[in-house]
Structure 1
Amino acid sequence: MPDIDILIESPGWNAIPGVEAVVERAVLATLVAEKTDDVGISVLLGNDAAVRELNAQYRGKDQPTNVLSFPAPQIPGQPAPVLGDIILAYETCRSEAEAEGKSLADHVSHLVIHGTLHLLGHDHQEDEEAEAMEAREIALLAGLGIANPYADRPEAQG
């Protein structure tokens, strides 16, 4: 069984009833689908200021972003490998959800799945990787009863 630690640092996250359950459900869905169950993962529900600082320090981008993922180095002899950390920025996530006309809970589920897939080694640097990762996200979200977050993009309507 995975060890999922969730820390809420920004009070804004309380706008989502049962936010910890929403996050845990998304992590578990991803880990089960990827056949990775005996691992540890941490999710920090922070704010734009905290994420901006991390984004600047580790990615050289002095701006907030919706989600960051930090894979953990594997430690020999540790019984359950730790995958790493996922950090979400409340203000950015809320603004994106509002702009896209979706619930904050659904948007957070998508971003947690996205971050978990990154920790599992998925990426979207190349077009082919991006298409595969998006397809995986869409399938996982569908399993949670959440609509395709990419459906409203102009290229998705062609």
Structure 2
Amino acid sequence: MNLQVDIQNASGESAPDEEDIRGWISTVLSGRRSADTEISVRLVDIEEMTKLNQGYRDKSGPTNVLSFPSDLPPDLDLPLLGDIVICAPVVCDEAKSQQKILQAHWAHMTVHGTLHLLGYDHIEEDEALAMEALETEILTSLNYPCPYQGEQSKEHADA
């Protein structure tokens, strides 16, 4: 698989190294997608995420991560998987308030967003449990702690 990740930091905040972001995405895709793949990752501020969350989900305020799977016509053979938008200030605030390692929380949001691009979801309880288990498997393989440790399931990223 040839992976191309375009990363834009429009947040004005410090963020993980681009190679870390690419590595997290590559780990998610490994064994789950064999075709060439292009993904865009945009790191945004509160204002931009609030607009996106309102415009696409009809929810007020910012969220941590949103995913936008590509919606290309079937006859258009392009490797674009989609876009992930992560709100840097929200991720930083969540990590602090939840007493999580900042790098681990960034990895979780990136993994979560990438799984959404692959069609995973957490609307139904069984879907949520499956997605949480997969996130935990991926993150622990990267030597990060379980992101749901000490939480009652159902506390998901909003993508």
Tell me if both proteins adopt one fold, taking TM over 0.5 as the criterion.
yes
Report which of the two has the higher share of helix: 1
1:61 pairs, out of 59, 62, 71, with 59
For 1:129, the equivalent position in structure 2 comes to 127
Name the aligned partner's letter for residue 12 of structure 1.
E
1:96 pairs, out of 94, 97, 106, with 94
**Matched residue count:** 151
Q: How far does the alpha carbon of each residue in 1:3-57 deviate from its partner, in whole angstroms, 9 at most, with x for none?
A: 111111122124x4x2x12211111100114234411110001111111100000
The offset of 1:141, in angstroms, is 0.3
In structure 1, the gaps of 5 or more residues are: none
SS at 1:10 equivalent = coil
SS at 1:13 equivalent = coil
Indicate yes or no: 2:9 matched with 1:8.
yes
Superposition pairs of residues 1-40 of structure 1, within 5 angstroms: 1-14=2-15, 16=16, 18=17, 20-40=18-38
CA RMSD of aligned residues (A): 1.5
Give the Cα–Cα distance (whole angstroms) in 1 for the partners of residues 140 and 28 of structure 2: 12
In structure 2, the gaps of 5 or more residues are: 154-159
Displaced runs of 4+ in structure 1, greater than 2 A? 74-78
Give the Cα–Cα distance (whole angstroms) in 2 for the partners of residues 56 and 5 of structure 1: 24
Q: State the identity %.
A: 37
Question: TM-score scaled to structure 1, two decimals?
Answer: 0.89
**1:27–1:116 Cα contact (<8 Å) kept:** yes
**2:46–2:90 Cα contact (<8 Å) kept:** yes
The offset of 1:154, in angstroms, is 4.7
